[in-house]
Amino acid sequence: MNAITAKEILARVLYRDALMLVLDKPAGIPVHAGPGGGPNLEHFFDALRFGLPRPPALAHRLDRDTSGCLVLGRHRKALAKLGRLFASGRIEKTYWAIVEGAPAQDEGRIDLALRKRSLDKRSWRMEPHASGQPALTEWRVLARGQGRAWLELHPRTGRTHQIRVHCATIGCPLVGDAVYGNARPGEALLLHSRAVTVPLYPSRPPIAVTAPPPPPMVEAIQAMGAAIRDETPVASA
């Protein structure tokens, strides 16, 4: 993606309160610096202090090429609380994906443990294995067409590359996935963190935040002859 600026990051704030921010992460930029350095979202977090003495920090992760809802904690106590909510599975996560092929059924669940396997000193991938960590993904088909399917997915666990590996194991790799699928050169990974629902305050309803899909996903959905009901970010507390 093109270089992003602090101003653009500010424009991507979907929700803010005293404890939490939810950011619409753009695809193509990692959330933190890798071994080789380079541009990353954390570099811009100082612009998201909104009067606090320290910048927010990541409450979870999204892959470099995944777009959509990214939750940040605004201070140490908030991060600890969000961490407990994520670890206990109380935060509802909804993803959209465009996959090659289509499942035979309209909905289902994939319960398949995953582990990391090193390929060499610099590369690795996740793989299904009985000795891996439990991983569960629920899914349903939103549309089919052009040899593809538009899926809504709910990962009930938070394993690395979980959705990508699980979809590949049912014969429906994500469009644009060069690791677990058959991405064409320059093809975008069509995986989007569509929504999060966070029960942050015991005496209030859960906070529900939705992120609009990026243009490549919108185009792919329209090419199927389908339509998105609401492309507008929605935040409620």
pLDDT digits (tens, 9 = 90+) for 162-187: 999 999 999 999 999 999 999 998 89
What is the rounded CA–CA span in Å between residue 196 and residue 68? 10
First and final CA of the chain: distance in angstroms?
A: 32
Indicate which residue of 17, 24, 46, 63 is catalytic: 63
What is the rounded CA–CA span in Å between residue 216 and residue 222? 10
Nearest Cα to Cα of residue 220 among 65, 98, 67: 98
β-pairing, 67-73 vs 191-198, is: parallel
Ranges under pLDDT 50 in the chain: 1, 232-237
What is the rounded CA–CA span in Å between residue 14 and residue 31? 17
pLDDT for res 237: 43
For tokens 């919108």, name the residue.
218
What is the rounded CA–CA span in Å between residue 65 and residue 75? 27
SS3 per residue for 14-72: EEECCCEEEEEECCCCCCCCECCECCCHHHHHHHHCCCCCCCCEECCCCCCCCEEEEEE
pLDDT for res 230: 65
Render pLDDT for 194-208 as a digit per residue (tens, 0 to 9).
Answer: 999 999 999 999 999
pLDDT for res 234: 43
**CA count, 13 A, side-chain hemisphere, 149:** 20
Q: Is 65 tagged catalytic?
A: no
For tokens 């243009």, name the residue.
215
Mean pLDDT of the chain: 92
pLDDT for res 231: 52
Nearest Cα to Cα of residue 48 among 70, 64, 66: 70
Residue 57, strand partner residues:
73
pLDDT for res 34: 73
CATH architecture of 6-236: 2-Layer Sandwich (3.30)
What is the rounded CA–CA span in Å between residue 202 and residue 188? 39
Local structure of 107: helix, strand or coil: strand
